[in-house]
Structure 1
Amino acid sequence: MDAGSHSISSGKSSAAAAVQRPPLQEAGSRPYMPPLSTTSRNPAAKCYGDRFIPDRSAMDMDMAHYLLTETKKDKENAAAIAASPSKEAYRRLLAEKLLNNRTRILAFRNKPPEPENVFAADTVSSHQAKPAKQRRYIPQSAERTLDAPDLVDDYYLNLMDWGSSNVLSIALGDTMYLWDASSGSTSELVTVEEDNGPITSVSWAPDGRHLAIGLNSSDIQLWDTSSNRLLRTLKGVHESRVGSLAWNNNILTTGGMDGRIVNNDVRIRDHAVQTYQGHSQEVCGLKWSGSGQQLASGGNDNLLHIWDVSMASSMPSAGRNQWLHRLEDHMAAVKALAWCPFQSNLLATGGGGSDRCIKFWNTHTGACLNSVDTGSQVCSLLWNKNERELLSSHGFTQNQLTLWKYPSMVKMAELTGHTSRVLFMAQSPDGCTVASAAADETLRFWNVFGTPEVAKPAPKGSHSGMFSSSFAHIR
C-alpha cells in the first residue's frame, strides 16, 4: 500500500465552504464572478599557424654545399680543418644561433587567439551549413490557476481528464464540472446522490462527447455532454468503488477496489464481455496502448500487469484471463501509467511513496529497460506528443512537476507552485498544455510542451452516432 494516502472521506467539505469557494474560478478571486477568459568566429580575425619552420639564417649554406660535394682529398683537408682551433669557434656559433632557440619549438610567435573567438568563428560557419535548433523556452510558472474546492485527496483515484473536444472534466466531491478550454467557461454536468458519491473516476470517450463517470457506490454512469443527458448506468460490474477507467474504441474498461478489471461493450445490453483477474487489491491505474492491442494495469498490490487482446477469452464466464506479463519490480502502488506515442511497445510507470521510481518497460518482452529514482511519490506521467520528453507529477516533499529528456532522463525543468501533492495531470488535445490538480485544491495550467510545428486538425466526432444509437435502446 502506498504511504501517505488519505481516506475518501477527506475529500468532502461542508456546503458552506463550497459557497465561499466557487469551483473553477481564478484562484484568489473574490467575490464570485463569472469565469474569466483565458490569459497568457569572426572571419576578419587574424589566424596564426602552429607549424615549426626552421630558421635557416643560423646555417652556413656555403659550408653545407661544400661538404655535400667534396672529393676524397677535400675530406682529408676538412679533417685537418676540424682538428684546428677554428672548430671551437664553430661550436660556439652553432650553440648561439641554433641550440638556444629550442624553447621556441612548437610555440606561437605571438599570443594565440582567445578560444572564444575561435569557437565563435566555427559556430558561424557551422550555422551557415546547418541551422541549429533553438532550445525551447519552458515557463517556470503556471499560465493560469483555478480554484478546485472539495477535490478528493486520494492517491488511488483518477478525477480529471481532457477530451478530444478540448473540454476538461474534473470531479470535485459529488459534482462533475466541465471547463471549456476554448472559451474558458465552466458548467456543471451532474451532482450525484450522496449515497452514490463521491465521484471516484472519470474518462472521456474517443469522440470527446461522451463521458464515463465511476462512483464510490460501484456504479458507472455514461453521459452525453452535448445534451447533458444520462444515457446509461452500468450496475453490478464491481463490488466496490470504481477508481480507474479507460476507453478502447467502444470498449470501456473499468477497474475497481475489488481488484477486478472488466471490459464493457457499451453497444450491447449485456455489456460485461471480458474480465481480467490478476490484482489482489485496488486497481488504481488503467491505460490502453495506442494500437488498442495491449492494456496496462497497476494496483495497490504493487503489481503491474500487461494484458494482450489476443489472449483474452471472449466468454465472461471463463473468469480469469491470463496476463501477458506480471511485473513485480515496483515497491509501492502503481498508479502512473503512460504509453509512449513514438514507440508502441514502450510503457512508462511510476511507483508510490515507498518506491519513488519511474520505470520503462518493453511490453513485448516484459524487460525493464531503465529505472530512475525520482526521490518522491510519482502520481502521474505524461509523454510529450511532439518531442522525446516525459513529464511526471509528484507528492512529498516538493509537490513538483518534472520534465525529463528521454532516454537520457536528464531533468529539463522542475515546475513548482503546488503546495500539496500533484495527484492528477491531463494533456490538451494539441499536446501543448498540461493541467495539474493537487490536494491544495487548485487546478493549474502549464505551457510545458511548447507549440507543435504543424497544427493538428480538430478531431472529428466520428463515433457520436454510434454511441447515441447504441445507448438509445439500452436505457
Structure 2
Amino acid sequence: MDFSYAHYMLTTEGNKIKETEGEPSAYQKVLAEALNMNRTRILAFRKKPPNPVDFFPPENSSTSVHSTKSKPQRHIPQKSERTLDAPDIVDDFYVNGLDWGGNNVVSIALGNRVYLWDASDKSTSELVTVDDEIGPVTSVSWAPDGQHLAIGLNNSEIQVWDSVSNRKVRTLIGCHSGRVGSLAWKNNHILTTGGMDGQIVNNDVGIPSHVVGTYRGHRLEVCGLKWSTSGQHLASGGNDNLVHIWDRSMASSNSPRQWLHRLEDHNAAVKAMSWCPFQSNLLATGGGEGDGTIKFWNSHTGACLNSVVTGSQVSALLWSKNDRELLSSHGSPENQLTLWKYPSMVKMAELTEHTSRVLHMAQSPNGCTVASAAADERLRFWNVFGIAKVPKPAASGRKSRPFSHLSLIR
C-alpha cells in the first residue's frame, strides 16, 4: 500500500469533498479507494478465467494430458465355464478333431468315434463309430449349413454325415493315398481335403465324380486348411514347414507353380491358421515345436507383417469376431491359451487349466465362447471373447411390429 498517497488524499484532497447526508462520507470513500478496499471486486473476474493446465500427468496415467477417457478393460474369466471328459482323444499335433457348427453343436473325434455336444440343451450324442480298419477319425468339419459333417479317416476316406437324420450320405474315395488330417468347406457343396500325401483336393459332394480340383505344392502332410471369408483364397499349412496361399481359380492348373504365394519363414510344421474377420487380406499362422511363432501375412503381396515369439508350440489360432483380439493355443511347458491384443500383440490373458498340450480350438457361432481340447482328455469351454454385439435393426420405411428384431419361440 502507498502510505504517502493515502496521507495526501486524506489531508489535502479530502478537505475539498463535502459530506452528503444519508450517504457514506466522502472520507470513507476516499479511504476505501486509497486502501484498495473496493469489496465489489473480490473474487470477481472481468473475463472468464482460462482452463487450468496440468503440466504433469497423474502418476498412474499412461496417456497424454489431452487424451480422452480410455475404454474400461474387459474382464476375462481365468477359469473355464464348463469341462467335459474327452477319453481316447488322439494325441497327434497334425490332426484336426474338433469343430463347432452354425447349429451350435460341437463335434469331437475320440478314437474311432465322433460325438456331438449340443450347446443349446447341453445334450451329448454319438454320431458314428467307424471300424478299426479305417479308423481312427483324423478330422471333422461342419458344412456352413450346420447340418452336414465331414469326417476324415485314417484310411484316406472321407465320409459326409447328416446330423439331423444321423445317417451317412456320402463316402469320398480316391482323393488321397494316406490319412486325411485337414478339412475345409468352401461352401455347402465344395469340400477341400488335405492328406498325408501332401495333396489338397476340392470335392463336389453333390456329384458322382466328386474330384473337381487339386492343388499341388506341399511335400509332406497337409495339416492346416482355411478358406478366406470371400471364398477367393485358400491357405494351407504343412509338415514341410510351408504355408501356401492359393487362388480358387488355380485348382488343377497345369502351371508348374499353382500357388499365389509360398511362405517359408516358419521353422516347424504349420497347423494353426486363421483369416482375419476385419481385414480380409490378413492371415495369421502359427508354427509347431521348434518354431513357436505367430506370423501375420498380407495375402495380396505375400509379405510378412509381423512375427511374435510365443515360446511354445502353436496348435490353433482364432480371431475375435467382436474385437481386435487373437487367441492362440499351445503345448508345453504351459499348455495355455493366450489372448493377444492386435496389432500391439500385448498379452491380455493366459488360461492355464489344461495339464497337457492343447490340440484343438473351436469357436461358437456368436464368437464369444471357445472350446479347447487337449491331450489331458478334457474339453473345456471359455467365455474369452466377451459378449456378442447385437446388430441394430435395419431402418425401414414401414412401421415394424414391437420386438420384431427378436427371434420368436414357436
- TM-score normalised by length of structure 2: 0.79
SS in 1 for 2:75: coil
Match of 1:264 in 2: 203
CA 115–294 in structure 1, closer or farther in 2 if over 3 Å, else same: closer
User: Are residues 1:423 and 2:359 paired?
Assistant: yes
Higher strand share goes to which structure? 2
CA 187–368 in structure 1, closer or farther in 2 if over 3 Å, else same: same
Residues 28-427 of structure 1 mapped to structure 2, 5 A cutoff: 133-249=71-187, 250-313=189-252, 318=254, 322-427=258-363
Deviations 1:50-93 (A, max 9, x none): xxxxxxx7x9999xxxxxxxxxxxxxxxxxxxxxxxxxxxxxxx
User: What's the CA shift for 1:410?
Assistant: 0.2
CA 183–61 in structure 1, closer or farther in 2 if over 3 Å, else same: farther
Cα distance in structure 2, aligned partners of 1:216 and 1:117: 60
Structure 2: where are the runs of 5+ without partners?
Answer: 6-53, 393-404
Cα distance in structure 2, aligned partners of 1:177 and 1:157: 16
User: What's the CA shift for 1:156?
Assistant: 0.1
Cα distance in structure 2, aligned partners of 1:458 and 1:421: 41
SS in 1 for 2:249: helix
Cα distance in structure 2, aligned partners of 1:115 and 1:231: 67
Task: Answer yes or no: is the 8 Å Cα contact 2:215–2:252 preserved in 1.
Answer: no
Cα distance in structure 1, aligned partners of 2:177 and 2:332: 32
Cα distance in structure 2, aligned partners of 1:403 and 1:413: 5
Task: Answer yes or no: is the 8 Å Cα contact 1:390–1:404 preserved in 2.
Answer: yes
Cα distance in structure 1, aligned partners of 2:4 and 2:232: 87
- Letter of the structure 2 residue corresponding to residue 153 of structure 1: D
- Letter of the structure 1 residue corresponding to residue 186 of structure 2: N
CA 243–60 in structure 1, closer or farther in 2 if over 3 Å, else same: farther
- Letter of the structure 2 residue corresponding to residue 422 of structure 1: V
User: What's the CA shift for 1:311?
Assistant: 3.0
User: What's the CA shift for 1:402?
Assistant: 0.2
Task: Answer yes or no: is the 8 Å Cα contact 2:215–2:250 preserved in 1.
Answer: no
Task: Answer yes or no: is the 8 Å Cα contact 1:276–1:320 preserved in 2.
Answer: no
User: What's the CA shift for 1:300?
Assistant: 0.2
- TM-score normalised by length of structure 1: 0.69
- Letter of the structure 2 residue corresponding to residue 421 of structure 1: R
Deviations 1:402-439 (A, max 9, x none): 00000000000000100000010000000000000000
Cα distance in structure 2, aligned partners of 1:361 and 1:321: 20
CA 118–166 in structure 1, closer or farther in 2 if over 3 Å, else same: closer
User: What's the CA shift for 1:310?
Assistant: 3.1
Higher helix share goes to which structure? 1
- Once the two structures are overlaid, the 10-residue window that deviates more, 153-162 or 303-312, is 303-312
Cα distance in structure 1, aligned partners of 2:310 and 2:59: 40
CA 322–140 in structure 1, closer or farther in 2 if over 3 Å, else same: same
Deviations 1:208-248 (A, max 9, x none): 00000000000000000000010010011100100000000
CA 115–219 in structure 1, closer or farther in 2 if over 3 Å, else same: closer
* Relative contact order, higher structure (CA 8 A, sep 6+): 1
Cα distance in structure 2, aligned partners of 1:136 and 1:175: 38
Cα distance in structure 2, aligned partners of 1:361 and 1:293: 16
Deviations 1:133-184 (A, max 9, x none): 3321100010011100000000000000000000000000000000000000
User: What's the CA shift for 1:453?
Assistant: 2.6
Cα distance in structure 2, aligned partners of 1:325 and 1:61: 93
Task: Answer yes or no: is the 8 Å Cα contact 2:102–2:144 preserved in 1.
Answer: yes
SS in 2 for 1:361: strand
Cα distance in structure 2, aligned partners of 1:61 and 1:194: 116
